[in-house]
Structure 1
Amino acid sequence: MASYLSQAKYLILQFSSCKVIHIKRSKNKSAEALSKLASTNFEHLAKDIRVEILDRMSVPQNQVLVIQTGVESWMTPIMAYLSSGILLEEKVAARKIRHKALNYQMQEGVLYRRYFLGPLLRCVDAEDANYLIREVHESICGLHAGSRMVVAKLMNAEYYWPGMHMEAIQEIRKCDSCQRRAPNTLRPKNELVPVTSA
């Protein structure tokens, strides 16, 4: 949608004057009928209705160029072991990776963790994990929930990385909105110590 918006802004600049008016949904029945027409089959339509089918997009697709590849993360040794059987030199580290690899699976070059309560969970690195936490916690649909709810939503969205609970707690503590609007607890900071009178 962002590319269509930029294309529309570019086309607006080509005109000498342009006016954009918001039309209420109740008064815009022809546009709504047109949008429903796009999802129907055209064979039953009468001959007097003219339908044009576009075979290519009106917005040119952006080319994505890979800038950085081969970044080391926690997934690198597990992926190397699962894809080609390469282990580290140290025996203890190699045994740990061999033991961890039992819980993981490679599909089309992507690492997934086996999850016994649901589908496979896609493994992500630290940078993507930070973005996912912020997206679930404070994006447009974010509810500024606690760390347990954020991790549960991420696992329902089929993502995984080790230490996701601790990273969620650290990221939520940085949220300015949660710090300002958190409810004040009226409970004492320490447990009360009863003192008996003499």
Structure 2
Amino acid sequence: MAKYEVLILGLEILIGKGALEVQILGDSQLILKQLSKEFKCNNEKFQKYLATAWELLTSFRKVFLVHIPRIHNEIANELAQIVSRYRIGLETLRKLASIHQILVPADEREALCVGKWEDNDWRKPIAEYLKNPSTPVDKNVKLQAINFIFMADELYKKGIDGSLSRCLSQDDKEIALGEVHKGICGAHQAGKKMKWVLYRNHVYWPSMIRDCIEYAKAFQECQKHGSIQQIPVSKLHSIIKPWPFRGWALDLIGLIHPPSSKHHKFILVAIDYFTKWVEAVPLIEVGQNEIIDFIVEHIIHRFGISQTLSTDQGTMFTGQRIKNFATSRNISMITSTPYYAQANGQVEWKRDREFLVNGPTLGKALSK
């Protein structure tokens, strides 16, 4: 059936060009004998194709049917290799270019070769080395060039099975990714499946798998309609404190209105995770220097150097001075997640408990 379709398509092209004589070369005696009416066609599907071919042949003055052995049918073999991009010879591509110029009008032609490549194009050093192997290049380029072939101004990647994959530039890569993912035949598939589809279409560039995964992840429609991610945005830190004063939680209470008689507006609180021991000081202003002085006087001098200090993501706790101070004392600074910015509820829990049981004990710090 495929041979009949090719025959009919070729005859239609010749009729459109005004050809008066045609010579049909083929390695199938069955088709040639059916065209010459020596053999009868009993297949209903083939009868439709045969009738169409007979009707087209009546448009020519002379028709020659020539049978050639399959081993000598080089033209058909070359055309099949061009379609599949399998071991295409340079001379074959030149023949194709000449036929393309004859059959296709100038205003409908597509470029068979790309213009001058840019300097940042990954294909350029490999192609230049393949065109002129005597050019001094880096040894890595020589190793890469083993798996490539340069033909008719195009760079191809050689596959394990001998097939050739056309190497794409940056612009062509974006077009290929969009066509595979959201094009007519695209199914919004994952990155690895996209790479497999591109490989089946015989295209290649070095970062295919990474680009496919990033394109699928960043596509807006896939993010809207995809499954909800259950993974937290930032890394979670397990709080396990097997002995006292190993880890402290720092937090700030305020702005308190009205302020105390000494104009204290904030309370800086530190709570030990193991014993729930509280250290608190009133402050007029809150800065990194005040926090460092509090850690030194109320934690390090009294209970020793802590292993961890847990805070929220406030700028007074995440400043560069605080980080340098913690690094110099080998203290690990841990910040809570934006979803629950409190320092794991230590300060809030202690404040509420004290107000319910003993009255506003933390508030007494304001009177100091």
TM-score between both structures, scaled by the size of structure 1? 0.59
The 3 A distance-change label for structure 1 pair 126 and 43 is closer
RMSD: 3.6
Letter in 1 for 2:160: F
The answer for the alignment partner of 2:41 in structure 1 is none
Name the SS for the 1:40 alignment partner.
Answer: helix
Is 1:131 paired with 2:179? no
Name the SS for the 1:41 alignment partner.
Answer: helix
Counterpart of 2:201 (choices 157, 167, 179) is: 157
Is 1:40 paired with 2:49? yes
Q: CA deviation at 1:165?
A: 1.8
Q: Map 1:81-92 to 2 at 5 A.
A: 81-85=129-133, 87-88=135-136
Counterpart of 1:114 (choices 126, 144, 158) is: 158
Distance 1:124 1:135 in 2: 14
The answer for the alignment partner of 2:343 in structure 1 is none
Q: CA deviation at 1:131?
A: 0.6
Aligned residues of 1:82 and 1:105 also touching (Cα < 8 A): yes
Is 1:70 paired with 2:116? yes
Instruction: Write out per-residue CA displacement over residues 81-121 of structure 1, whole angstroms, 9 at most, x where no aligned residue.
Output: 11222535xxxx52221121111122333221122256222
Distance 1:192 1:184 in 2: 22
Q: Percent of pairs identical after alignment?
A: 21
Distance 2:171 2:180 in 1: 15
Q: CA deviation at 1:167?
A: 1.9
Richer in strand (by share) = 2
Instruction: Write out per-residue CA displacement over residues 64-90 of structure 1, whole angstroms, 9 at most, x where no aligned residue.
Output: 486x820222111211111222535xx
- The runs of 5 or more residues in structure 1 that have no matched partner are 1-35, 46-50
Instruction: Write out per-residue CA displacement over residues 119-166 of structure 1, whole angstroms, 9 at most, x where no aligned residue.
Output: 222211111111111100011211111111111111111111111122
Distance 2:203 2:181 in 1: 15
The 3 A distance-change label for structure 1 pair 122 and 65 is closer
Counterpart of 2:138 (choices 94, 97, 109) is: 94
Structure possessing the higher radius of gyration over alpha carbons:
2
Aligned residues of 1:77 and 1:87 also touching (Cα < 8 A): no
Counterpart of 1:79 (choices 103, 108, 127) is: 127
Distance 2:166 2:152 in 1: 12
Which structure's relative contact order is higher, taking Cα pairs within 8 Å and 6+ residues apart?
Answer: 1
Distance 2:142 2:53 in 1: 61
Q: Map 1:5-16 to 2 at 5 A.
A: none
Name the SS for the 2:50 alignment partner.
Answer: coil
Aligned residues of 1:137 and 1:144 also touching (Cα < 8 A): yes
TM-score between both structures, scaled by the size of structure 2? 0.34
Distance 1:182 1:70 in 2: 41
Distance 1:135 1:169 in 2: 15
Distance 2:184 2:240 in 1: 51
- The runs of 5 or more residues in structure 2 that have no matched partner are 1-44, 61-103, 243-273, 275-368
Q: CA deviation at 1:63?
A: 3.7
Name the SS for the 1:71 alignment partner.
Answer: coil
Distance 1:38 1:129 in 2: 45
Q: CA deviation at 1:44?
A: 9.2
Q: CA deviation at 1:174?
A: 3.5
Is 1:143 paired with 2:187? yes
The answer for the alignment partner of 2:147 in structure 1 is 103
Which moves more between the two structures, 168-177 or 158-167?
168-177
Task: After the TM superposition, list the runs of 4 or more consecutive aligned residues in structure 1 that deviate by more than 4 angstroms.
Answer: 36-39, 51-55, 187-198
Distance 2:132 2:108 in 1: 31
